[in-house]
Amino acid sequence: MAHNSGKTKKTKVPVARKRLRVGLGIMLTLLLVVGGKLFMVQGLDMGGMAEAALASRLTPQVLPAERGKIVDANGTVLASSVIRYNIVVDQVLNTATSDFKRYNQDTETVETITRDQGISELATLLGSDVAKVRDSLTGDKKYAVVAKDIKPELEDRITKLRIPGVSAEGVSKRVYPNGSVAGGVVGFLQDGTTGQAGIEQTQDEILRGTEGKRVFEIGADGLRIPVATDELTPAVDGSDVKLTLNTDIQYFAQQAIQSQVNKLNAEWGVIVVMDAKTGNLIALADTNAPDPNDPGKVDAKDRGVRAVTAAYEPGSVEKMITAAAVIEEGKSSPLDHFTIPSSYTIDGQTFTDAFEHGTEERTLAGILGWSMNTGTVMAGSRLSKEQRYDWLRKFGIGEKTEVGLPAEATGILAKPEQWDDRQQYTVLFGQGVSQSTLQTVRAYQSIANDGVMLQPRLIDSYIDPDGVEQKVPAKDPRQVVSKETAQQVRDILESAVTEGQIKDAAIDGYRVGAKTGTSQAPREDGLPGFDGYTASMVGMAPMDDPRFIVEVVLQRPKGSIYGITNGPVFRSVMAQVLRTYNVPPSTGTPARLPQFVK
């Protein structure tokens, strides 16, 4: 029997168990390393990898702001915008896709759709050939346009196809429902986004609004991740611009002046209609007016508003200013007596009239009623050179109207020290000075409005997307002449119709005052001399309480200038305006100032 010495006997650990322990230790170490690395990457993201991965999945989508409308005084839409979509594709993503998943709301199941099926469905919605759509989706471009000008309801159906790489871009499309009516005033857009002419240009910042943005995540399959990032910055639509124009009067005036230009084969013509009580412009009519839907159909020179952009020598319509100045300065009166020879010489300068006559005894009213240069110089020479200049300035000559249209002409009014021996007198009857039609109308407005000049207004108000309307302020009115002087000048203008040469401006039932003007037009080639004439007529009605101003201008009409009259055009437009605004017929006694001294 063996004897036990009392020492404990060590049990040998099997080799397999040792190996297992070593293996477990190594695995734990590796897990710690991997876990630490994973914590560094995903938890701390010291290298920005998670951020970069997120950025690669984020897809920004521009949300276009709706451009504000341009409307007339009655709310008639002259320009508006509609939202349209371009269908675009990431060809690389789409080409690499064999099939994709799509949720079917009807069956509440996820379906597998082949690329060919998706292409066929898209072609059907677009009404296009399948092969053509496949070509547009296939390639190596990250961005390609598949279709343009897609309406919202069709865009929604296309988006629901969930075709990888295919998306929609919203764009704003401008439409002009009234075509060429006030086309030059309204203007048009360049590349469909930026105002290029007219109100579209000058009010671009008001109309355009602010784009919004939507950012969401797209998975590797090209589909949007439903529960991931979705950030929305809404677009802010532009404000509407409300004009003072009356579209019906604008249309009537455009037709009237176009007919007159065609009849006399003139280069161009304009008609301006203004409310004398407010300064509001009712019509700014041009011939060959552009259609903003396709402005390229007319020459570039016809795309503006010539009532504002074209400055020319006004001719005898300027005699009204001379009459107002001498009356206000106490140098003359409507019935003042002038002995007028067949020609009149002063400071070595000789002046004649458009018609032959002997020595005549005329009133100041008769001088204007028969548009005599001789008598105008005789009366106007009672003013100093500085006074002549100052009165032209007081009536707004040489001063922009700031009506809110691009390329406005200032005109030319030289300082009196720059006038030569003849110009110091010709400015009294509208030569040696240039101005726009609107500047002339503004001067006559002050006489119609008891001597108070108002700033011409074309932009009435801004209407924000919430419908809040904000009136656009005008400059403060200014008293140019006294109320008494304005009345005396109105009597002279009315007598030019009742007793003078301008009888074809008369309108049944209404008292009318008017003045004609004729001037030589400078040569177009820039060489010295003149080529043709500018013929105009400006008047107001009803003279018992003047409400409206109308001016008609023709540039270079063909034929004898002595046989050309704008009276019928003036009469038809003014009569239409009076009817449209329900102006009661005149009740007072018309002014009939004697033209001759008996």
Q: Does 316 qualify as catalytic in the annotation?
A: yes
Q: What is the DSSP letter of 318?
A: G
Instruction: Please tell me whether residue 261 adopts helix, strand or coil conformation.
Output: helix
- Residue-wise over 120-147: b if at least 16 C-beta within 10 A, else e? ebbbebbeeeeeebbebbeeeeeebebb
Residue in 136, 180, 316, 495 annotated catalytic? 316
| Cα 510 to Cα 494: distance, rounded to the nearest angstrom | 11
List CB contacts of 120: < 8 A, sequence separation 6 or more: 130
Handedness of CA 362, 365, 369, 371 (dihedral sign): positive
Q: What are phi and psi of 541, to 5 degrees?
A: -165, 160
- Per the CB < 8 A criterion, the answer to whether 50 and 41 are in contact is yes
End-to-end CA distance of the chain: 178
- Whose CA is closest to 307, among 242, 253, 252, 368? 253
| Cα 508 to Cα 25: distance, rounded to the nearest angstrom | 115
In Å, how far from its chain's centre is CA 361?
51
- Per the CB < 8 A criterion, the answer to whether 249 and 241 are in contact is no
Which structure tokens are listed for 106? 């009807």
**CA-CA-CA-CA torsion for 122, 128, 134, 135, nearest 10 degrees?**
-140
In Å, how far from its chain's centre is CA 187?
5
Query: What residue type is 58 in one-letter code?
Result: L
- Per the CB < 8 A criterion, the answer to whether 274 and 441 are in contact is yes
Q: Which residues are known catalytic residues? A: 316
